[in-house]
Amino acid sequence: MMFSAGDLRRANGLLARYGFVLHEDGSPSILFYNLLMKGYISSGCPLAALGVYDEIQQQGMIPDKLTYNTLIFACVKTEKLDAAMRFFEEMKVQAQKVGHDDLFPDVVTYTTLLKYISSLTQALAYCHEKHVIHRDVKPENLLLDHEGRLKIADFGWSVQSRGKRHTMCGTLDYLAPEMVENKAHDCAVDNWTLGILCYEFLYGVPPFEAESQSDTFRR
């Protein structure tokens, strides 16, 4: 069972007080689960809020905008950036699938996600002030702390240099043009990746992604 006996008692208390969260047949509506997730987050249990999503799927219910915004916020609280991006992409796909314009991401969704871009911009600026080029910025190398602040990880390809570098390195979908063309590069390659991530946050995939590596290079 997804819910404990205590959860169900609290939920039944809510249902008794707020009948509007029920469908006409007496089954819980999506609003019931939204309230339950928000309750978990407010009580300091955001991980439990993410677990409610499994129950929503088992019930065959269609999440609404509040569901996705709450899930994304819970991901921020639990330091799960990849999961936040998956919910963001699913939100857009579901909106297109069911034809509900109201499901498309709103200012709350973008504000939650784009604060990562602001944090990443500041982190890269600090690295560049210290003459450090990361050279492999991508979602897998971004972590969140317990307060939802973004941290850059995996400096395996990084280098400290005041001049141009010539080593081709990084991840294909995020490579800057000078890397692809085997030209000398500097910290601008990190700035290019920042733009790639902005695009991926908006559309769910990197802009030059293709079926083969050669096609990605060509793009």
> Binding site annotation covers 154?
yes
- Three-class DSSP labels, 148-201: CCEEECCCCCCEECCCCECCCCCCHHHCCHHHHCCCCECCHHHHHHHHHHHHHH
> Binding site annotation covers 140?
yes
- Whole-number Å distance between alpha carbons of 129 and 196: 22
On whether the CB atoms of residues 140 and 103 are closer than 8 A, the answer is no
Establish how many alpha carbons lie within 13 A of residue 197's alpha carbon, considering only the half-sphere containing its beta carbon.
Answer: 26
Among 82, 101, 106, 136, the active-site one is 136
Q: Is 101 a catalytic residue?
A: no
> Binding site annotation covers 12?
no
On whether the CB atoms of residues 14 and 35 are closer than 8 A, the answer is yes
Q: Which residues are annotated as a binding site for ATP?
A: 140-141, 154
Residues labelled as active-site residues: 136
